[in-house]
Every structure is written in structure tokens, then in C-alpha cells.
Amino acid sequence: MSKPFIVVSDGMDKGLFNDLCKIDQLNVHPEAKISQESLKNLLPDVEGLIIRSATNVTKELIDSAPKLRYVIRAGEGTDNIDKAYCKEKGIKVSNTPGANNNSAGEHAVALMLTVLRKTAWANQSMKEGKWEKAAFTGNELWKKTVGIVGFGRIGQIVAKRISGFETNTLFFDPLVSRSTSTATKVDKLEDLFSQSDIISIHVPLIEATKNIVNENLLSKMKPTGILINAARGKIVDEQALYQVLKEKKIRGAGFDVFASEPLENNSPLRELQNIVLTPHLGGSTQEAQFRVGEMAIHQVKEFFLNSNLLNEVRH
């Protein structure tokens, strides 16, 4: 009986990948990160696929992989996987919940501080040979009102991390019934947007959250307000965001995620001087990548060696 052929397409901790390759019962492709073109050539024989955010498991990919039995998203968000078509084809889908939560939460806080203290712009100015101290007077996070949209694991981490700044932290989440020691529940999303100095988004991308942050909600923000998104790009209407930033109706924004990734070279967001852009770095720490890789390998072994499906994600 042939060994299951496993492909890791978007990279993994080197030590963990070497451990995966040493599992005798599995046939692991010897590269931990491959181009999408190379992946296409491997698809006819792939039975297990470990991905991060770069690989999109589309209908076309699935149709090109007739032996595919299992897809693992090394991370939490699975909007880059056509889960309904996987179900139709009998392909199981898992993620690694919780493994990169701390990194994602810390990145959201980093974006808050970067926008507040204007450090990204000051850095660029310094590297251009300037010394523009007066131009980069910022604001403190201390005692600001921070609104968190979505109070799941990552939203709660953000609340804990910023508590040291003595913030007044609010949250909106219909699935959480009461206030906590670190944040106060707000019943209406509009109220959270109107009351907060900083708004940080931490909801999954589902049909109900697509473009939930739209022109109407953005119009409720304070002129000094800052919007942070380290969740998923399609949660925010980017055209509406562009307009409020261009017209300086809010102070600024910090975005790690976008409706289309990689962000297009001609995206109008790149033209703006009041938004900090990072290339989906929320889970990109060595610690998080080790944890998601460790979980993914364990789940591959359980599935193919013990017929045990862990952390299944349904469509």
C-alpha cells in the first residue's frame, strides 16, 4: 500500500518540517514552501495539503486533485478554502484554532501604537535624511476608549494586553452575554463606533460580517478616530474606508488584511498618508508559526495514521 502523499505549500518551521519528513508512514514532498505553479504539478497525487493564507483551495484546485482527502489550514481563518465544495467531494478540512491568537492580538496593538505615535511615518522621514520632530507629534493610548468588534479569543487577548494602558475598553459581540473584567459590552455596533477613539476588528469572515464596516458605520466615528483591522479584509468596505481617509474624516487606520491579497499594486490605499499597511503579518511570528506547524503535523498524523479527525471545520 502506497504512503499518503503530503504537501506543505506555504511554509513551516524548518525543524518541524524535518520532523514531518521523518515520519515513515507518510510521503512528504521535500519542500516546505512551493510556488502555486509547482503546486499545480503536484495536485494529481496529493492526498494531504497543509496551507496557510497564500494558497486558495478553490473548486479548480480541488478538481485538479482527485486523491485529495484532507486540507489543513495552519492558522484559524478558512475563507481561502471552498469548504462547501470540499464537503461535496468528501474532503475533510481542519484548522489550528488558537495557535496564532496571541500574535494576531499583539499585532493589532502594535498597529494601534504605530498609528497613534506616527512611528512608521517618522521612520520613513528619518531614512530620507530629515529631522521633522514637530511633524510627528502623536497621541497616547493611555486612557483612550478602545472598541473591540468581536470578543472571541483574539478580541479578549487585545483587551488584556491594552489593560495596562488603563484604557476604557468596550466590545460588541452578540454571542457574549455580559461585560468582563477587561471590557464593557455595548449592545449596538453603531454606539461602539461613535464612542470609541480606536476601533479594532476581531470577527471571522462569514456572510453576516462581509462589509459590515461600511460607509454608514464609518460615518459614526469620531474625527479623531482610528480603525484597526487585523482580522479579515472583506469585513471592511475598502472603498468607503478610502473615502473617509482621503477626506480626513477620521484620524487614521492600521490594516494588516485586505479584500484581495496580495494587495494590488494600484490599490488606492497605497496612496494615502494616514494609513499604516502591513502584509498580513498577524500570525507571522516565529512562536506562532511553530505552534500552528506543531498542531498541523499532529493533525496530519492523527488523520492518516489513526483515522482521527481533529479540529474539523464545516462549511
- Is 29 an active-site residue? no
- Is 60 an active-site residue? no
Edge-to-edge strand ranges of the sheet holding 145-149 = 184-185, 168-172, 145-149, 198-201, 226-229, 252-255, 275-277
Is 90 exposed, middle or buried (CB count within 10 Å of its CB: 0-12, 13-18, 19+)? exposed
Q: Which of 190, 261, 294, 302 is catalytic?
A: 261
Strand (E) or helix (H) holding 85: helix 83-88
The number of CA neighbours under 13 Å toward the Cβ of 118 is 15
Amino acid present at 288? A
Residue 147, φ and ψ in degrees, nearest 5: -105, 130
Number of H helices, E strands in the chain: 11, 12
- Is 107 an active-site residue? no
Rg, the chain, Cα only: 21
Q: Which of 52, 73, 161, 232 is catalytic?
A: 232
Residue pair 225/250 in contact by the 8 Å Cβ criterion:
yes
Residue pair 141/134 in contact by the 8 Å Cβ criterion:
no
Q: Which of 52, 202, 251, 280 is catalytic?
A: 280
Active centre residues (catalytic): 232, 261, 280
